[in-house]
Amino acid sequence: MFLQGRRALVTGSTSGIGLAIARTLHGEGAEVVLNGFGDEGEIATLREELGGAAHFGADLTDVAAVEAMMADAGVIDILVNNAGVQHVSPVEDFPVDKWNLIIALNLTAAFHTTRLAVPGMKAKGWGRIINTASAHSKVASPFKSAYNASKHGIAGFTKTIALELAEHGVTANCISPGYVWTPLIEGQIPDTMKARGLSREEVINDVLLVKQATKKFVQPEEVGALAAFLCRDEAQNVNGANWSVDGGWTAE
């Protein structure tokens, strides 16, 4: 319970990776603040599971909504910028509204939450900023121009704030997963089987895991465990790093 007395805001924590991070930090004693969309009843159940956690349904692409959330959330010791979306399209057809959404959520929202959380961290002389980037912060895949740009952007942003905050007891790091087994990915398998005429195994191994050398999906809990490690005092000199959790994808 090494996070007792710490307050952690995890954006996009009503689902997938963010939820796993929130659960892990709560399991280590942190008071967790949730953010994200979803069914009201399910969010109420999650809040109860996580010790009566506060929840903010703020749309992080709306600067005023981010500012209101950060004002109401109080002092945050651990900020996990995790909320993100994807859109796949050739660049010449890429819808402008999708480009703007992806950059606003995956990149610009992290700037706003960070600039608003940093004064409290500096005042305490302790803080952790963890940004969920992606293997696509290091390498590209075609048809993901906005996503790749946003994830390369968050990697550069993280390095910059790591340098700025280093002498204030605040670290900033990225976690960069490959394919993570979330309901989002699981739901794509039947459609891909149909579209490509492949078996479930072929979709998993030849489409989804083709670059993931372990041929295994990352589990959301594995990302949660790494996030918890980065919050340890022993990780005080782990700063400005971009941690791959991609089964070896970006080693190639």
The residues assigned a catalytic role are: 147
32 binds ligand NAD (CB under 6 A): no
- Complex with ligand NAD: residue 58 or 121, whichever CB lies closer: 58
| Residue numbers 67-106 binding ligand NAD by CB under 6 A | 82-85, 105-106
Please, are residues 136 and 148 in contact by the beta-carbon 8 Å criterion?
yes
180 binds ligand NAD (CB under 6 A): yes
Q: Is 134 in the site for ligand NAD (CB under 6 A)?
A: yes
CB of 230 to ligand NAD, least distance (A): 15
* Closest CB 63 distance from ligand NAD, rounded Å: 12
Q: Which of 27, 59, 188, 189 binds ligand NAD (CB under 6 A)?
A: 59
SS (H, E, C) 9-56: EECCCCCHHHHHHHHHHHHCCCEEEEECCCCHHHHHHHHHHCCCCEEE
Total H helices, total E strands in the chain: 10, 7
Residue 161 or 249: which CB sits closer to ligand NAD?
249
Q: Is 182 in the site for ligand NAD (CB under 6 A)?
A: yes
Q: Where does this chain touch ligand NAD (CB under 6 A) — which range of 31-39, 45-53, 67-75, 226-234? A: 31-39
The strands making up 242-245's β-sheet, listed across from edge to edge, are 54-56, 31-35, 7-10, 78-81, 127-132, 170-177, 242-245
Q: Is 179 in the site for ligand NAD (CB under 6 A)?
A: yes
- Count of alpha carbons within 13 Å of 234, Cβ hemisphere only? 5
Q: Does 238 bind ligand NAD (CB under 6 A)?
A: no
Per-residue DSSP letters for 146-212? HHHHHHHHHHHHHHHHHHHHGGGTEEEEEEEESSB--HHHHTHHHHHHHHHT--HHHIIIIIISTT-
In whole angstroms, how close is the CB of 157 to ligand NAD at the nearest point? Answer: 13
| Residues forming the site for ligand NAD (CB under 6 A) | 12-18, 35-38, 59-61, 82-85, 105-106, 132, 134, 177, 179-180, 182, 184-185
